[in-house]
Structure 1
Amino acid sequence: MRVLLLGADGFIGRRVADRLLTDPELQVTVLGRRDTADIRFDLAAGSPGALSRFLDAVMPRVIVNCAGATHGSPRALTRSNTVAVATVCEAVRRSHDPARLVHVGSAAEYGPTSIGTPIPESAEPRPIGPYGVTKLAGSELVLSSGLDAVVLRVFDAVGPGVPAASLFGRLAEGLRRAVERGEPQLRTADLSAFRDFVDVRDVARAVQSAAVSAATGVINIGSGAAVRVRDAAQALVRVSGFEGRLLEENRPGLPLPAPAPTVDVPGGHEPRLPEPRPLAEPVLWRQADVRTARDRLGWRPRVPLEESLSDVWTEAACRI
């Protein structure tokens, strides 16, 4: 079966590419802006008509859309997460033999939810911030397109290749520097929220399962467990061997965590993460209800969080 992969250079896209390329039943063609792509095309700037001509030439049975942006101005996020998706949907509709579409969405589309409760796919999306709003707009375009399509709402992906701008990407780099310099303290962003961390390799398995399934609609992809970000950060600290303290910078308007004890170190320094900043969305709780993924895709997460964080640290440690 021929698969057209969009967004193969991103964090999730790279792992999806690895997964699909090892499946002997699949023939994978990559479309993107970079020279490494089989077909050069800018989804945010190209026309649906031009893309539909590529589709008619390649004739994929499935299109996997991992393309998108997590950071940038509202206008840039709109181009990457909404306009590009509109181009894909219109191009598929115009093609002679419309392919199945597997679209990678985000748990940020849900926005704030009740603390202590898993989020089902039936929950009303209430995103806050440009990222969640633009991702939801893209997903709604897919769901209302009339195509054979499924949206995978991926929760907090972590693991090897995690972006440097992400919380754990910044934390791993800060720990690397602190270990290298023997520093006693490290400042971080606020870590009081709860998140549902899922390994990026498990996400890739879910995408593969969705590509060969007949499932449609929205399907959550997460671990099914909420973990306090502070606990996950401490797990990364343990793996790194850092023996100092994490000092959190608290966000305005959110509850303060218990104060961390401090140690006076004459002449000591407090290394800071590169441009420490709060999480992009003030959402205190995120936990996926993953029963639909189990029932409709036969998918369950396999990689424990400790292994994901160990792999994040291994990559960072290689830069010491």
Structure 2
Amino acid sequence: MGRRVLVTGASGFVGRHVLAGLASAGYAALLGLGRHEGATVPAGAEFRAVDLADRVGLAACLRSFRPSHVLHLAAQASAAQAQGAGAETWRTNVAGLLNLADGLLAEVPKSTLIFVSSSEVYGRAFLSGESVTEDTIPKPVGVYARTKHVGEEMLTDVLAESESRLIILRPFNHTGPGQDERFVVPAFAHQIARIEAGLIPPRLAVGNLDSYRDFLDVRDVARAYAMTIEASERLESGTILNIAAGRPRKIRSVLDDLTQLARVPFEIVVDPSRARASEIHFASGDNRRIRKATGWMPEIPWSETLVQALEDARARVAAES
């Protein structure tokens, strides 16, 4: 039987890129789930509005679709926003995940669950100043990171004695067209677009520019997810894979590159409210395990990622004004 792939969080920033990448894979069926009706999906995919908090509705969906693979993206996606919404973050990132695991065990017990966790689980382990591997012991900091790490541990326990299989992915920072301004690259790009359009004064507000982060293009991350699905039968249940470029970039260099792409000059001003409180100065991941397991490597040049992020911001700002 061909693969029947279900993607949760399909209407989100990453989910839209993932569905676009999976739609041409020739699966027997491809279904995206999201909380709200009306999501646009590519040809070859379907969409259903299902809230993971709705155990009955979720079970009915799993029973009717019978996925062979579930790619779980649905989550509170912003670490900064999670910090101010602890209860909602735990409900979304852990309670909803447990509902999904229970539903799979009851309705499709031989399915493969690919859980998209986060590099944020490593937390204080980054203080070593070295690129982390999957064997690095997580030391999560903050609500978002803790919920993701608990999700990993909970799934390991819940699915341990079952016929279901589990793969855990830990993606590092990723960006691209469609990402909102809670994240650093679109935050810079949208300010540049508004300055170019004369909507705000020529002053770009920044937070901490001296941290290093491991950036990827969202389309490379979506391709990593697709290649993990393809390789899933060869992977041992419980496998953990970093999705990382392995090349940390200073935030200041990201801004410098975007400044070179801007059409007008501007002043850079520090806004303390934009500085995310964090002791993590350096974060980078070792990607050798996923390269060996799936053949994945990041392919999209960083320069292209920034050009497309800025063009997307310009189009969105033009549509707003």
TM over 0.5: yes
Q: Deviation at 1:177?
A: 1.8
The aligned counterpart of 2:221 is 203
User: How far does residue 205 in structure 1 lie from its aligned partner after superposition?
Assistant: 0.5
> Distance between the aligned counterparts of 2:203 and 2:70, measured in 1?
47
Q: 1:133 aligns with which of 133, 137, 146?
A: 146
Taking structure 1 as reference, are residues 234 and 143 closer, same or farther at Cα in structure 2, changes over 3 Å only? farther
Tell me, yes or no, if structure 1 residue 315 matches structure 2 residue 275: no
Deviation of the 1:32 alpha carbon: 2.1
Match of residue 190, structure 2, among 173, 197, 204:
173
Q: Which runs of 5+ in 2 are unaligned?
A: 40-46
- In structure 2, distance between residues paired with 1:280 and 1:141: 28
CA distance in 2, matches of 1:35, 1:183: 38
Q: What's 1:117 paired with? A: 130
Shift of 1:40: 2.6
Q: How far, CA to CA, are the matches of 1:123 and 1:212 in structure 2?
A: 26
The answer to whether the 8 A contact 2:127-2:281 is kept is no
Whether 1:220 and 2:242 are equivalent positions in the alignment is yes
Matching of residues 1-320 of structure 1 within 5 Å? 1-36=3-38, 38-43=47-52, 45-47=53-55, 50-69=57-76, 70=78, 71-72=81-82, 73-112=85-124, 113-144=126-157, 145-146=159-160, 147-181=164-198, 183-214=201-232, 215=235, 216=237, 217-249=239-271, 276-279=273-276, 281-318=278-315, 319-320=317-318
Q: Which amino acid aligns with 1:237?
A: T
Once residues 240 and 269 of structure 2 are traced to their aligned partners in structure 1, the CA distance between those partners, rounded to angstroms, is: 38
Give 1:159 shift.
1.0
Task: Report the CA distance between 1:136 and its aligned residue.
Answer: 1.3
C-alpha contact (below 8 Å) 2:133/2:242 kept by paired residues: yes
For 1:17 and 1:286, the matched residues in 2 are separated by 28
Number of residues paired by the alignment? 293
Distance 1:165 1:205, change over 3 A: same
Q: Tell me, what secondary structure is at the counterpart of 1:190?
A: coil
TM-score (norm 2): 0.86
The CA deviation at 1:13 is 0.9
Shift in alpha-carbon separation, 1:316–1:185, aligned structure 2, 3 A: same
Distance in structure 1 (CA, Å) of the matches to 2:287 and 2:99 = 30
Q: How many percent identity over aligned positions? A: 27
* Distance across 2 between alignment mates of 1:232 and 1:186: 14
Higher relative contact order (CA 8 A, sep 6+): 1
Larger helix share, 1 or 2: 2
Cα deviations by residue, 1:31-75 (Å, 9 ceiling, x for unpaired): 2211136333211x212x543332121111101111001224001
